[in-house]
Amino acid sequence: METLYLRGEDKTIAKYVIFSGDPWRVEILSKLLDQPKHVAFNREFNTYTGLYKGMPVTVSSTGIGAPSAAIAMEEMYQCGMEVAVRMGTTMGLKDDLLGKLIIPTGVMREEATSATYVPVSYPAVADIGLVNCMNRSVLENGRDYVNGITCTMDGFYSQMRESRLSRKMQTDIDKTFRRLKKYNILAVDMESSCMLVLASLMGIKGCIVTMTTVLENLKDSLKGDHRKKAEEDLCKIVLDGLQIYNKEVDLK
């Protein structure tokens, strides 16, 4: 039966699923696949299934934020997803992280969606076997990675980025970053903790692979060709990481 929003079915969705926030990054990913078939593009959910070096894989978008990411996870799980990787960009909280991959082992839960499933004491943690495969892929693709703890929040313009309204309301956006740095948090995004919680509840493997394209409050960012190359590398790193996992872990 076709799912409500992603319009997927068990026959159109692979057990390996890569999620990207941006529907158009999914188009880049699809071009790295052999025999890509367009499943659907409905609302913020753009989905393809194809082969990567003979391995069936589905790539799909979630849009921005935990509520729509939870819908994507739920509907892919309904279609038989067994491995979920969130592939995206993140806001780094340390200057030396720009252009590096952050692959968190755990994520601080400051979004509200996961709390509709489980208490806030329930951890958002990645599958270590999957994380190790992604770490290897980063190095094999000539990039640097950092493992550690990140944070997921709901409010972009109320917590992460100064805006006209935040200035009008005299909101101290930097307060967010000062607090998180005390906890040695590497970066902040808007989906990861919810997706890891759901992966654990579903009993599937999940991890997060993010490229640091901006720093806190957008004080610096990757631009032009550097940004384009970083996102292209990110796509290949995640596909190669799944290939390593498929060959060395999943098939044991």
Domain residue extents for the chain: 16-250
Sign of the alpha-carbon dihedral angle for 32, 233, 58, 64:
negative
Looking up tokens 């989906």 gives 191
Name the class of domain 16-250. Answer: alpha beta
Tell me if 206 sits within 8 A of 191, measured CB to CB: no
pLDDT on residue 20? 97
**pLDDT beneath 70: ranges in the chain:** 251-252
pLDDT on residue 94? 94
Looking up tokens 């921005």 gives 64
pLDDT on residue 251? 63
71 burial via Cβ count (<10 Å: 0-12, 13-18, 19+): buried
pLDDT on residue 249? 80
Q: CA 83 → CA 24, 130, 211, 252, distances in Å?
A: 22, 9, 20, 15
SS3 164: helix
What angle (nearest 5°) sits at the alpha carbon of residue 89, between those of residues 84 and 94?
120
Q: Report the C-alpha gap between 34 and 204 in whole angstroms.
A: 25
Q: Report the C-alpha gap between 139 and 126 in whole angstroms.
A: 19
Query: Does the predicted model carry a pTM greater than 0.95?
Result: yes
Tell me if 23 sits within 8 A of 32, measured CB to CB: no
Q: CA 241 → CA 150, 217, 235, 244, 251, distances in Å?
A: 20, 30, 10, 5, 14
